[in-house]
Structure 1
Amino acid sequence: MVDHADGPILALDLGTTTGWALRTPDGHIASGTVSFRPSRYDGGGMRYLRFKAWLDQIEAQARGISAVHFEEVRRHAGTDAAHIYGGFLATLTAWCETHTIAYQGVPVGTIKRHITGKGNADKAAVTAAVRAHGFVPADDNEADAIAILIWATETEGGVR
């Protein structure tokens, strides 16, 4: 479980297009997506180096991050997706450990159940539920990140 310590909270939907949502201590929420699609000239590890640099930038802009929550995926559509997710997960957890930031994976079903009431809700239902909370996500990646942030703030990150 994660102790938020009243600092900024970052929620991530990890992937080539990563959805993110950041809640500041005053309750302001910013969100969006960022692409880590490699160019044809990039080596295999460049997307992860760009991801780490992006994390550094977000932390600097937020003046620190107290906790990171991310979607914990157990099944992937294919081998490439699993490898890419694993690379982002390794980069994120190592980055959090280096910066002494608490982190927690949240199962997909837990997020969906919290935001929609159904653990097997589809992407459209999650997006609609996030919109019902007053957000306007650009795509399902951003909607997932916002849903994770809503779960983290409403359940205190699972801490009871």
Structure 2
Amino acid sequence: MSSPPTRRGLPGTEGRDRGPGTAILSLDLGTRTGWALLGRDGSITSGSESFKPRRFEGGGMRYLRFKRWLTEVKQSADGLDAVYFEEVRRHAGVDAAHAYGGFMAQLTAWCEHHGIPYQGVPVGTIKKHATGKGNAGKQEMVAAMQALGFRPADDNEADALALLMWAIATQEVPA
């Protein structure tokens, strides 16, 4: 069982182009997955979750833990209206690319199974929206989210928050 979500960020986004009751999850997929959730009450919860392979477990267990975690988030949010994820087109290494592909496959299959709309958003789009630069670095992304009043623990959480801010500002999600 994963740890309970850590509440970080600011309440009160319910007035930003969203009907009350919309729940949106944004994800920065990876071994350390950053996440941000716009709750039905308009509050934002965020954090990062580790899916590092554990000793003595098979290679697919990290993906089963990810899928179980998604279900826990969905239940805690009383359902999800949309999921957005950071769409990475270039990875630093083969292992990172394989892990990302596994998480993306699990996420998209899980969303299809539960009838939840999902969308990948290019990294440059998220960075440009958050900082004004499509090639912003990790610390710039953290600083941009801090400037909005959030306290991201790491760059993964900052990226997920930035993606959520993009979704809130630009996307129409059915309530």
Secondary structure, aligned partner of 1:15: coil
Tell me the TM-score normalised to structure 1 length.
0.94
Indicate yes or no: 2:56 matched with 1:34. no
Q: Is the 8 A contact 2:53 2:62 kept in 1?
A: yes
Partner residue of 1:89? 104
Aligned pair 1:107/2:122, yes or no?
A: yes
User: Deviation digits for residues 28-60 of structure 1, max 9, x if unmatched?
Assistant: 000001100011211010000000000000000
1:96·1:102 contact (CA, 8 Å) conserved in 2? yes
SS in 1 for 2:59: coil
Cα displacement (A) at 1:157:
5.8
Q: Give the ranges of 4+ consecutive aligned residues of structure 1 lying more than 4 Å apart after TM superposition.
A: none
Separation (CA, whole Å) in 2 of partners of 1:156 and 1:10: 13
Q: Between the two proteins, what is the percent identity of the paired residues?
A: 65
How far does the alpha carbon of each residue in 1:106-152 deviate from its partner, in whole angstroms, 9 at most, with x for none? 00000000000000111111110011011000000000000000000
Counterparts of 1:139 and 1:157, CA distance in 2: 28
In the alignment, the residues of structure 1 paired with residue 151 and residue 172 of structure 2 have an alpha-carbon distance, to the nearest angstrom, of 23
TM-score (norm 2): 0.86
Who is 1:122 aligned against? 137
Deviates more, 1:17-26 or 1:77-86: 17-26
Matching residue of 2:90: 75
Q: Is 2:23 the counterpart of 1:8?
A: yes
CA contact (8 A) 2:126 2:134 kept: yes
SS of equivalent to 2:54: coil
- Decide whether the 8 Å contact of 1:11 with 1:149 is kept in 2: yes
CA–CA distance in 1 between the matches of 2:154 and 2:55? 25
Alignment size in residue pairs = 155
Aligned to 2:149: 134
Q: State whether structure 2 residue 80 is matched by structure 1 residue 62.
A: no
The equivalences for 1:140-155 within 5 A come to: 140-155=155-170
Could you tell me which runs of 5 or more consecutive residues in structure 1 were left unpaired when the two chains were aligned.
Answer: none
